[in-house]
Amino acid sequence: MIENEYIPITETPYVSKLAKDYLLGKDIGINNPLVTDYEGILELAKVRNFSETSRNTLVKALLNQYDQDGIPLGKNSKVYQNIISFKESNTFSFTTGQQIHIFLGPLFFIYKIQSLLRHVKNFNALSNTIKAVPVFWMASEDHDLEEINFVKLYGEKYTWEAESGDAVGRIRCEGLPELIDRLENRADKTEENKKLYSLFRKYYTNDKALAAASRGLLNEIFGEEGLVIIDPDDKILKKSFSGIAKKEIEEKILFNSYNEQNRLLKRHGFEPRVKAQEINFFWLENSKRIKLKVKNEKIVKGDSEEELSIDQILTKIENLSPNVITRPLYQETILPNLLYLGGAAEVEYWLSLQDAFKMLGLKYPALIQRDSVMQLSIKNIDFIEKIGFDWKQLFKKESDLVDDYQKISNTNSFVLKEKVNIIQANVKHLGDQFTLNEIKSGLVFKELHELQKGITRLTNLLSEEELKRSMENPVLKKLFKLKERSFDTRQEREIYLVADPDKLTLALSSYVKCSSFLIKIIL
């Protein structure tokens, strides 16, 4: 029994049609910028210019952030060395980002960083001229508190009752220490839980903002791997972005180019997730993140009549907050980035940004989807194999699994279906013969068509009947229950670290080996 087994993410239902076709290199209606190997990323490095001034600004901002968050970086620490290395022209970033969920959220939060570390380590082992540094972009300016203010433990939801509206990274952690107590009282009394909740208490203190707490926690876990954590809510960094922001706002580049790319995608059968607005920024003010809008050719704050001129925006650039599609522009302006690693949704909305990047003079990074992880017990794997299945089959529909089971079991139902399939094939052959013999009667072909429809209906009815009968089969009932629990729902989105802290150890122990999709066998 092997411990880890990998399959491409494109062979799972955990990837959208657009992301799947992109990853497979298919025609998606717009330019497909897929970079398939690390050699391709090395080629990107040759044309990725990042000025000495920009490098020094980045280093200064990062060191200030760690200092302000009370995280001392020893001169010999890997994080400090990685930050300082950004001053060198041959150092570039590999980046991923995520909302800053309390208590590290669902397991995919960890797996996303794990994926990034894997790519950095493998790339650096290959390259002796270019150095890659892993960077985690905290979505600290997001204001959707309800998306990150809860965890699930043993089926029960625990929510942080903080006031919403502000950029979440600025919200003080008041109330989180008490929530930690509630979680620990409910959790199993294991050594792993004791260590995890002790770590939470160390960083989620009433006097810290959520961004600072998140940085401290992530640094303690991933600091030895050299993970650099960046908070985009930074005046120094936003000043570097002011030129790009000004051009985007004045020329409405995204409103035109992004939506045109979306139209091309739609013609090829894809439904874009994000639509560009006339202005794609928010405004941070008075503990609120307010959507900027265009009204009568003027920029206004939300639904009010209060106007903002370009000069006012640039004067208070620290208040300007990117939305989902201007955030990549900000990121690629302030980082010497070569690779962005995202989920399927991120891959989708990044794809329509390519023309905007060119118009703004930005270099588009290699865009890849993060690794996904599912964990099954040896007991469940043994059960799957004992009935003659491979675990990959459980991604199929239940009706297809019934067919597979009947085939393995050589049941009478399978024999009946085979007979119907033979009849169906014979009817199709008969139709071909009619055509070859130049039979032109419309009535003949009408009756033939009705016969084909009848056989199709019979096939579907047989499948439905067998699916109903299969629910009484104890083996299939158990298989369907396992499928529902571990395959139909995204395990990594439904299980939270607070419910299973040993997942953190497992994730960290195997990040170098991980591939596009990993099934990890656990005792």
Phi and psi torsions of 92, nearest 5°: -135, 165
Q: What is the pLDDT of residue 521?
A: 46
Q: What is the pLDDT of residue 375?
A: 81
Q: What is the pLDDT of residue 404?
A: 87
Q: What is the pLDDT of residue 378?
A: 83
> How far apart, in whole angstroms, are the C-alpha atoms of residue 262 and residue 272?
6
Segments of the chain scoring below 50 in pLDDT = 1-2, 510-516, 520-523
With tokens 């001053």, the residue in question is 87
> How far apart, in whole angstroms, are the C-alpha atoms of residue 296 and residue 313?
18
Q: What is the pLDDT of residue 467?
A: 60
Q: What is the pLDDT of residue 394?
A: 92
Q: By C-alpha distance, which of 237, 260, 208 is closest to 322?
A: 237
DSSP state of 164: P
DSSP state of 172: B
CB within 8 A of 259, min separation 6: which ones? 275, 276
Residue type at 95 in one-letter notation: T
Digit-coded pLDDT (tens) for 431-463: 777 776 767 677 777 777 788 787 778 777 766
Q: What is the pLDDT of residue 511?
A: 43
8 A C-beta contact, residue 70 and residue 183: no
Alpha-helical (H) ranges within 50-107 are 52-68, 78-85
Q: What is the pLDDT of residue 514?
A: 40
Residue type at 390 in one-letter notation: D
Mean pLDDT of the chain: 89
> How far apart, in whole angstroms, are the C-alpha atoms of residue 454 and residue 290?
59
Torsion angle, alpha carbons of 78, 83, 84, 87, to 10 = 140
Phi and psi torsions of 518, nearest 5°: -120, 135
- Using a 10 angstrom Cβ sphere, with 0-12 exposed, 13-18 middle and 19 or more buried, the burial of residue 313 is buried
Token pair listed for 172: 């003080």
C-alpha pair distances (Å), 515 with each of 99, 121, 203, 377, 424: 23, 13, 32, 19, 42
> How far apart, in whole angstroms, are the C-alpha atoms of residue 234 and residue 64?
10
Residue type at 50 in one-letter notation: F
Residue 58 DSSP SS3: helix
Digit-coded pLDDT (tens) for 486-500: 888 888 899 899 987
Token pair listed for 417: 């279906």
pTM to 2 decimal places: 0.86
C-alpha pair distances (Å), 445 with each of 63, 79, 452: 77, 73, 10
Residue type at 223 in one-letter notation: G
